[in-house]
Amino acid sequence: MNERDEKHDPDRMRQPRWRQIQRALEDDIRRGTVAPGERLPTESDLAKRFGVHRNTIRRAIDRLRQKNLIRVEQGSGTFVQERSVVYAVSRRSRLTTVLKNNRNSPSREILSSHDSTADESTGAALSLPVGFPVLHIETLRRFGQQPVAVSTYIYPLPRFKGIDQRIRETGSITIAMRTFGVHDLLRKDLRVRASTPSAKDAKLLGVGRSKPLTNLISVSVDGDDAPVQLTHTRFISAWLDLYFQFEDRPR
């Protein structure tokens, strides 16, 4: 329903003005006129749009917040609430598969790739000596048009020389790894921590420096249990719910 239809909707015309505005904004959100994670217009702009006092706008905004359709970030504005994805973590689970199953139209863009050498932490994670040649790949992941995660992948060289090009061609790390003889990529470990974004990540993700990010740091191994990939993903926390299930072992 557009604004012209709203003016001629008798049910809406009988409602308080703040309620009419709330429902109009709710329609904008549900139609995707304002996308998940996108900032709403300011109170002043909304007041001009609807021809009301800012107090009326605040009441409508507060109702949308109570319905968990928006979130208010002090100093940044009011944003449409993101639709979170439940990610059940296992040795073989892949976030891309989860996103496709949730119909989020995920995509991955390689931002940069360069040869480097392993520092102490990288060497420990990948069982490499300090100074061993490695390949760094930086990617940006989107749901539709919305950027949601920045990832750093590190691979030992020369074994994975050219995997960056293969990822560009296929759009899939799992498929790219098969080219290099890794047919069963297994997660060895996973660390989860919270952080705020660096200036670079904040710009890529289109968020403020105070926006919470979830960091997923993992090491993956091949079928021979040799470490082949170190991953550090910085994810907008509101988009992802991590799910861990622990099975009791028989005594």
pLDDT band at 146 (very low <50, low <70, confident <90, very high): confident
Per-residue model confidence as pLDDT tens digits over 224-233: 999 999 999 9
Q: For residue 197, what is the DSSP state?
A: P
Dist. CA 220–CA 79, nearest whole Å? 36
Dist. CA 96–CA 205, nearest whole Å? 18
Average pLDDT over residues 51-76: 88
pLDDT band at 247 (very low <50, low <70, confident <90, very high): low
* Residue 195: partners with Cβ closer than 8 Å, 6 or more residues away: 212, 213, 215, 234
More confident residue, 181 or 14: 181
Domains in the chain, start-ordered, CATH in brackets?
3-80 (1.10.10.10), 85-243 (3.40.1410.10)
Single pTM value for the model: 0.71
Position 251 scores a pLDDT of 57
Per-residue model confidence as pLDDT tens digits over 164-189: 999 999 988 999 999 999 999 999 99
- For residue 195, pLDDT over 60 is answered with yes
Per-residue model confidence as pLDDT tens digits over 70-81: 888 777 789 887
CB atoms within 10 A of CB 60: 24
pLDDT band at 67 (very low <50, low <70, confident <90, very high): confident
pLDDT band at 250 (very low <50, low <70, confident <90, very high): low
